[in-house]
């Protein structure tokens, strides 16, 4: 069994709304980055 | 608690499992019992993953953590979004494509049977013990403050979970977790609103945040590279990533949640939902703790929140000493409150307020030392009693019952996921291949139900004897860190080191686990490091063994 062969995307599998899974991951990371910016702004304003 | 509280509490904790039982009635196949059916959508998976991780400790300890040290603890979760995306991209497609019931089944397909059994065995030991701690931790706190009998609390919470988890399998766990986490959200939101509402008139929410920030409680992000700082952005990103990857990638209690339903898209969306929601949720829980801290700047807090332990010390003859500390604490509190009421945290008063706050903390530490000398020291940190004391003493009736239900819902949802995983792993990875290989499907469903009940009894047994364990709440994390590294190492070798075969990785994992146990007994480093050490050791040892002792078994 070659484990890494299994990591390729299944045929025809795409992320609804985003087009592809890498794009969906980038959107999730973008939202997380925005959260960090908000937390940092919160720290600066209130500390 | 009054009758209204008990009505709300009992109705909440019984209604959800009863609804779940109704939704999952009827006979099932093993596939449905372990992985649920296609009616489980991504939102249910997302909430289920969230509920599995957010155990009772999250809701009891986190606000107390912020009360003591501020909200910087949120940085510990910063590695999670990266880990969840890694799991989405690497782990989930493999598990879904092979249609495995458990993560360890994949190890059997990639390596051999003994490696699969080793991974499953390490998981069973770690989670079997941790399930007991999950039940015991809230039970000891609730029984102490509410006067409930400890064993009765353990059996009521544990027994209910065992019954519905064994009956309904993964589908009931997912359905009940969806509603339990919603109850938790509502309860915590109400507590937050009431905490803000109970602040003195004239102290707006914005000004309250300024005061809490001025007292050092609102530093959410710290980019410092100082290794002595306990929580920083960098330690959260790197340490948190590794811990979360172990947890979400190699722990069956989580793997079973996101494999529920059997759709790759639903699994991935459920995990991505957690990647964006988990950190803000922890932030808000910690912010609630900061609001409770602020509330207790104007309403006098007890010098020691665990009142039963405090009363035991008085009964043991340390009353005079504690009364003296209490009088000094009262004086410090009054001076601090007057300063805050007069000017908030202005540049002129800030230094004095911080000094008084440090003095109050010192008095609390001295009270704790008295309790320890008296032999009345409890098994959990006093900060774990902060939030529940606030709930019991300052929230209106009805809401108190709801918040106790929140704690029990969190206990039940985390325990149900664990028991479900323990029963499934025992049946699929041990019972089916080793004891009854070719039985009808229904036989395995019954076997999984019985094994889930057996693990439930083990968990309740561990909970009944958990009082023998010192520093109770840390114990769950330590157990995880000791075993997670080796388990994750097995999966990383499987995914990324294609030349390594079964025997090499099997003995590498055994050696790595022995190394971690030896280091654990001989060194005094932070337990989080054992994740990294265990995983790295499996990778290095397996490569070394494959190229030396097991070189002949390498693929051509």
Over the stretch B415-473, which tens digit does the pLDDT of each residue have? 999 999 999 999 999 999 999 998 898 899 999 999 999 999 999 998 888 765 655 55
CB contact under 8 A, B110 and A1: yes
Is pLDDT above 60 for A8? no
Question: Which of B443, B555, B506, B409 has its CA nearest to residue A1?
Answer: B555
Residue of A25, A26, A34, A44 to mutate, testing the B interface (most B Cβ within 10 Å of its Cβ): A25
The answer, yes or no, to whether residue B380 has pLDDT greater than 70, is no
Among candidates B258, B193, B251, which has minimal Cα distance to B35?
B258
| B63-92 as b/e: b if 16+ CB within 10 A | bbbbbbbbbbbbbbbbbbbbbbbbbbebbb
Q: Which residues of B touch A42 (CB under 8 A)?
A: 218, 220
Q: Which residues of A touch B501 (CB under 8 A)?
A: none
Contact between A6 and B98 using a beta-carbon 8 Å cutoff: yes
Q: How confident is the model at residue B214 (pLDDT cuts 50, 70, 90)?
A: confident
Residues 6+ apart with CB under 8 A from B271: B45, B46, B49, B84, B85, B87, B88, B92, B248, B258
Residue B554 has pLDDT above 50, yes or no: yes
Enumerate helices (H) and strands (E) in chain B, giving the number of each: 22, 0
Please tell me the number of Cα atoms within 13 Å of B115 on its side-chain side.
29
Closest-CA distance, B371 to chain A, in angstroms, reads 34
Q: C-alpha angle B435/B436/B441, rounded to 5°? A: 145
- Specify the pLDDT at position B400: 93
Tokens matching residue B171: 């589908």
Residue in B closest to A13 by C-alpha: B265
Sign of CA dihedral B470, B473, B478, B479: positive
Using 50, 70 and 90 to split pLDDT, how confident is the model at B252?
very high
Alpha-carbon distances of A9 from A20, B93, B453, rounded to whole Å: 10, 7, 38
If you average pLDDT over every residue of chain B, what do you get? 88
* Closest alpha carbon within chain B to A3: B495
Contact B93 A10 (CB under 8 A): yes
For residue B1, the 8-state DSSP code is -
pLDDT at B204: 85
Instruction: Give mean pLDDT, residues B5-34.
Output: 87
Residue A12, min C-alpha distance to chain B (Å): 11
What is the predicted pLDDT for the residue at B272?
A: 96
Which of A13, A24, A29, A47 to probe the B interface (max B CBs under 10 A)?
A47
- pLDDT reading at B555 higher than 60: no
Determine the average pLDDT of the residues in B97-113.
Answer: 92
Determine the distance in angstroms separating the CA of A21 from the nearest CA of chain B, rounded to an integer. 8
Q: Are the C-beta atoms of B208 and B294 separated by less than 8 Å?
A: yes
Which residues in chain B are contacts of A47 at CB distance < 8 A?
Answer: 213-214, 216, 218-219
Tell me which chain A residue has its CA closest to the CA of residue B205. A46
Mean pLDDT of B312-322: 89
Dist. CA B465–CA B173, nearest whole Å: 26
| Nearest CA-CA partner of B499 in B532, B453, B545, B448 | B545
Taking the CA of residue A5 and the nearest CA in chain B, the distance in Å comes to 9
Q: Which residue of B has its CA nearest to A31?
A: B276
Residue of B465 and B64 predicted with greater confidence: B64
Neighbours of A2 (CB within 10 A): 8
Percent of chain B with pLDDT over 90: 53
Burial letters A8-22, b for 16+ CB under 10 A, else e: eeeeeeebeebeebe
- Which of A1, A4, A42 shows the shortest C-beta gap to B109? A1
Chains A, B: CB pairs < 8 Å:
85
Which residues in A lie closer than 8 A to residue B220 (C-beta atoms)?
A: 39-40, 42-43
Q: How many Cα neighbours within 13 Å face the side chain of B361?
A: 12
pLDDT at B524 over 90: no
pLDDT for residue B80: 94
- Mean pLDDT of the region B316-331: 91
**pLDDT at residue B389 is higher than 50:** yes
Given a cut of 80, whether residue A17 has pLDDT beyond it is no
Average pLDDT of span B476-503: 88
Chain B residues within an 8 Å CB radius of A9: 93
Q: CA of B113 to nearest chain A CA: how many angstroms apart?
A: 13
Neighbours of B499 (CB within 10 A): 12
Q: What is the pLDDT of residue A4?
A: 44
Nearest to B279 among A4, A21, A32 (CB): A32
Tens of pLDDT along B26-48? Answer: 767 888 888 777 778 899 999 99
Which of B105, B208, B265, B267 would you mutate first to test chain A, the one with the most A CBs within 10 A?
B265
- Confidence class of residue B551 from pLDDT cuts 50, 70 and 90? confident
pLDDT surpassing 90 at residue B482:
no
> Smallest CA–CA separation between A13 and chain B, in Å?
8
Per the CB < 8 A criterion, the answer to whether B113 and B438 are in contact is no
Nearest chain A Cα to B237, which residue? A36
Q: Please give the pLDDT value at position A14.
A: 64
CB-CB under 8 Å, B212 with A46: yes
């Amino acid at each position: 069994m070659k484990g890494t062969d299994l990591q390729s995307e299944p045929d025809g599998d795409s992320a609804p709304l985003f087009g592809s899974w890498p794009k969906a991951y980038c959107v999730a990371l973008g939202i997380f980055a925005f959260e960090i910016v908000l937390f940092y702004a919160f720290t600066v304003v209130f500390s | 608690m009054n009758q209204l509280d008990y009505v709300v509490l009992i109705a909440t904790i019984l209604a959800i499992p009863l609804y779940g039982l109704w939704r999952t009635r009827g006979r099932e196949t093993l596939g449905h019992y372990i992985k649920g059916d296609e009616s489980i959508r991504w939102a249910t998976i997302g909430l289920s993953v969230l509920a599995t991780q957010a155990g009772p400790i999250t809701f009891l300890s986190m606000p107390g953590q912020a009360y003591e040290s501020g909200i910087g603890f949120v940085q510990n979760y910063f590695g999670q979004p990266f880990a969840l995306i890694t799991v989405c991209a690497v782990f989930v497609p493999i598990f879904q494509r092979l249609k495995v019931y458990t993560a360890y089944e994949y190890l059997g397909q990639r390596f051999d049977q003994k490696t699969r059994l080793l991974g499953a065995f390490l998981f069973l030991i770690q989670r079997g013990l941790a399930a007991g701690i999950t039940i015991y931790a809230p039970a000891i706190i609730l029984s102490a403050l509410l006067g409930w009998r400890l064993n009765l609390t353990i059996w009521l919470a544990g027994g209910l979970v065992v019954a519905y988890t064994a009956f309904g399998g993964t589908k009931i766990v997912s359905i009940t977790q969806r509603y339990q986490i919603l109850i938790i959200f509502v309860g915590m939101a109400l507590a937050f609103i009431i905490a803000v509402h109970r602040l003195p008139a004239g102290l707006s929410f914005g000004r309250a945040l300024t005061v809490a920030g001025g007292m050092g409680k609102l530093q959410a992000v710290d980019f410092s590279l100082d290794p002595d700082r306990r929580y920083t952005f960098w330690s959260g990103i790197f340490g948190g990533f590794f811990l979360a990857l172990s947890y979400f990638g190699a722990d069956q209690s989580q793997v079973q949640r996101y494999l529920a339903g059997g759709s790759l898209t639903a699994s991935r969306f459920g995990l991505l939902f957690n990647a964006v929601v988990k950190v803000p949720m922890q932030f808000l829980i910690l912010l609630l703790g900061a609001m409770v801290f602020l509330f207790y700047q104007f309403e006098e807090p007890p010098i020691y929140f665990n009142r039963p332990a405090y009363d035991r010390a008085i009964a043991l003859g340390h009353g005079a000493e504690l009364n003296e500390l209490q009088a000094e604490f009262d004086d410090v509190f009054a001076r601090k409150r007057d300063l805050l009421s007069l000017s908030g945290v202005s540049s002129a008063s800030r230094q004095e307020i911080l000094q008084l706050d440090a003095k109050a903390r010192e008095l609390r530490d001295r009270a704790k030392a008295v309790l320890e000398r008296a032999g009345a020291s409890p098994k959990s940190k006093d900060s774990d009693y902060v939030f529940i004391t606030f709930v019991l003493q300052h929230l209106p009736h009805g809401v108190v019952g709801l918040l106790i239900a929140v704690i029990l819902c969190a206990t039940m949802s985390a325990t149900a996921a664990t028991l479900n995983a323990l029963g499934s792993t025992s049946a699929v990875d041990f019972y089916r291949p080793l004891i009854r290989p070719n039985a009808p499907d229904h036989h395995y469903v019954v076997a999984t139900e019985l094994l889930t009940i057996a693990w439930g009894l083990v968990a309740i047994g561990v909970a009944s004897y958990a009082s023998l364990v010192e520093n109770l709440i840390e114990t769950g994390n330590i157990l995880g860190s000791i075993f997670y590294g080796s388990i994750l190492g097995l999966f990383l070798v499987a995914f990324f080191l294609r030349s390594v075969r079964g025997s090499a990785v099997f003995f590498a994992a055994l050696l790595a686990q022995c190394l971690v146990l030896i280091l654990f007994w001989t060194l005094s480093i932070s337990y989080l490091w054992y994740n990294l050490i265990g995983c790295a050791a499996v990778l290095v040892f397996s490569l070394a063994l494959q190229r030396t002792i097991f070189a002949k078994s390498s693929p051509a």
